[in-house]
A and B are shown apart, each in its own frame.
Chain A
């Protein structure tokens, strides 16, 4: 159980275009999802916490107008990278907590999306 999927797994786009990444919890409801970015040979950097039905909470230094997050249902959160530039090229990973498991704080990770902006 506790499977998280991401789509697409890999995307290449031109500079200036927008890219949407979907994160789905397949067999549990996730009121909270997390979006991370990871550059090569670096650790995960939390970008934002996505709460179902409310605005996302962005980490310091992350532009909320550039990285649009929508958590419209208990199983789906989307991250849209608007007007992407080459420096946005990175590995984007989402995770979700299964709050039905009381006292169990594990985050379940999606497989990640490799974004390359040309």
Chain B
């Protein structure tokens, strides 16, 4: 079966760095996405990785290792507004998104 694993919840301090991991097993691979979702709102796109390596975009970076079925989202200089759920999703061979359950990130002052 297809499976996406990510931690349920993480806590970090304002101004610090946090890494959210995601491992996956899917039928085929057409890219891995990270989305941010605030409570009661729809997800918003953060990053897309289809090749191995690190993609940096401002305070957020995303890493992918296809051979290991592994990705992480790195958030630097954490701000209170970064408190949200972070969803890892993999696009399979049928171009369908397979979603992880999301990681709730709690930022403390």
Seen from chain A, the residues whose Cβ lies within 8 Å of a Cβ on chain B are 34, 42-46, 49, 91, 93, 97, 105-112, 114
Contact present for A43 and B100 (CB under 8 Å): yes
Contact of A43 among B33, B95, B96, B99 (CB under 8 A): B99
Number of A-B residue pairs, CB cutoff 8 Å, is 42
A59: nearest chain-B partner, CB-CB: B96
The 8 A-B residue pairs whose C-beta atoms are closest, nearest first, are: A112-B42, A43-B101, A109-B42, A43-B99, A44-B99, A93-B42, A111-B42, A43-B102
Contact with A44, one of B43, B45, B91, B95 (Cβ below 8 angstroms): B43
- Tell me whether B96 and A49 are in contact (CB under 8 A): yes
Contact A106–B101 (Cβ < 8 Å): no
Closest A residue, CB atoms, query B98: A46
Which A residue's beta carbon lies closest to that of B8?
Answer: A41
Chain A residues with Cβ under 8 A from B97's Cβ? Answer: 34, 46, 107
Question: Is B40 an interface residue when CB atoms closer than 8 A count as contact?
Answer: yes
Residues of B within 8 A of A108 (CB): 45
Chain B residue total in the interface (Cβ 8 A): 21
Instruction: Tell me if B30 counts as interface (CB < 8 A to partner A).
Output: yes
Complex contacts, A109 vs chain B, CB 8 Å:
35, 42-45
Nearest CB on B from A112, distance (A): 4
Contacts of B44 in A (CB 8 A): 109
Chain B residue nearest to A103 in the complex (CB):
B50
Docked-complex contact A105 and B30, CB < 8 angstroms = yes
CA distance A49 to B92 in the complex (A): 14
Contact call A106/B42, Cβ cutoff below 8 A: no
- Kindly provide the distance from the CB of B91 to the nearest chain A CB, expressed in whole angstroms: 5
A46 to B90, CA, bound (A): 13
| B7 within 8 Å of A (CB atoms) | no
Chain B residues whose CB sits within 8 angstroms of the CB of A97 once the complex forms? 95
- Docked-complex contact B99 and A106, CB < 8 angstroms: no
The distance in angstroms between the C-alpha atoms of A108 and B35, with both chains bound, is: 11
Given A43-B100, A110-B42, output 4 extra A-B contacts at Cβ < 8 Å.
A93-B42, A105-B50, A106-B45, A109-B43
